[in-house]
Structure 1
Amino acid sequence: MERRKLIGIGAGLAVLPTWWALRQVANGAKEDWRTDTAPLERAFPVLGPLADAKWVSSRDNERDVPSPELVISGFARLTPGKLAELTAAHAFVSEGPADDFSSWFEKPLRSEGPENPQWARSHELDRDGSGYSTSLWFDRRSDTVRFWALNPYRQGA
């Protein structure tokens, strides 16, 4: 009788990981990043409508103490022609981000983004002051913008 119990428990433990994986797929397991573009379009109206995005925020994840300030970071793809419009209207310099997603919440983005980007930045398009800050880097080959923003929805931003 003891042997049957052990075999039953062992079989149950062997099935548990498969059951959990199937349940995650059936429930549409959440990605490690967000893909909705509407919040980004509201934060960065100069970019216009976005084709797609992968981004995270300091208020996402399962940290015990949420961040008192909102930081969003990620990538978005511009609609065709938008980057050409921006480069015609603003001065750009070749400049890439200083770090490679160093914050705890940015980890899911480390292997994302365009391959071998050639970043350019327009300091005119970045915002800073009175408690908010935005940095935008553009890759002309992929029409991708990498962004980092502190309190992007603050009034007057």
Structure 2
Amino acid sequence: MNGVADFGRRGALALGLAAVLGACTSPSNSWEDSTVRTDSEPLERRFAALGPLSDAHWLGTVLGAEGRGSVPGPTDVRVVGFARMRTGGVRALAGAPQWRFRSATPSAPPEPLLPYLPESARWVRSPSFDDEVTGRRYAGTFYLDESEDRVYFDTTNPLPVSSSGP
């Protein structure tokens, strides 16, 4: 009986380890077939705190789709990219004392977005502003660059702002 219990624990541990390793593996380039989108409306619905956006370049992809097989469960979507805010928009946000923006370096954007990376950007970030944009309903980071009124966003499962809110 003890051997069966040990096998059960070892088996569960092995299955758990296999699941973790499977979740951590990804294709060599999950963005290679992605098309860079330039429409701003889907971003404005999700990131209303940024105000009107233009000159958008972004990608959306389903995470883990290649390794899931037929396992049912929720689907995570990553949305990452750049957009231009209204003139002076970054200065207004970054200057607001409640956000406490600080210099920060975002992770490298996916390869298809590299041509749109501002060369002289001086990014700032505020975790409390991230929470404001996401409403703490999904994961997201937002980096702002005042020199070009640019935002770089990297989010998972961004939800549109409800129509009853501001």
TM-score between the two structures when normalised by the length of structure 2: 0.62
Q: 2:59 aligns with which of 38, 56, 60?
A: 56
SS at match of 2:76: coil
Is residue 2:153 matched to residue 1:150? no
Is residue 2:129 matched to residue 1:125? yes
Which residue pairs with 1:100 in the alignment?
Answer: 108
Which residue pairs with 1:71 in the alignment?
Answer: 78
Q: State the 1:112 CA deviation.
A: 2.0
SS at match of 2:59: strand
Cα separation, 2, equivalents of 1:130 and 1:43: 13
Contact 1:83 1:140 (C-alpha < 8 Å) held by counterparts? yes
Which residue pairs with 1:82 in the alignment?
Answer: 89
SS at match of 1:124: helix
SS at match of 2:92: helix
Compared CA separation, residues 122 and 68, structure 1 to 2 (3 A): same
CA RMSD in angstroms, aligned pairs only = 2.9
Cα separation, 2, equivalents of 1:33 and 1:126: 23
Amino acid at match of 1:110: L
Query: Over alpha carbons, which structure has the higher Rg?
Result: 1
Cα separation, 1, equivalents of 2:160 and 2:76: 11
Cα separation, 2, equivalents of 1:139 and 1:70: 25
Q: State the 1:91 CA deviation.
A: 1.4
Identity of aligned residues (%): 34
Cα separation, 1, equivalents of 2:135 and 2:46: 15
Aligned length: 120
Q: State the 1:151 CA deviation.
A: 0.8
Instruction: Tell me which moved more, 80-89 or 124-133.
Output: 124-133
Q: Which runs of 5+ in 1 are unaligned?
A: 1-30
Runs ≥4 residues deviating over 4 A: 63-67, 128-131
Compared CA separation, residues 64 and 79, structure 1 to 2 (3 A): same
Compared CA separation, residues 130 and 48, structure 1 to 2 (3 A): closer
TM-score between the two structures when normalised by the length of structure 1: 0.65
SS at match of 2:93: helix
Amino acid at match of 2:75: P
Contact 1:135 1:148 (C-alpha < 8 Å) held by counterparts? yes
Which residue pairs with 1:115 in the alignment?
Answer: 119
Q: State the 1:116 CA deviation.
A: 2.3
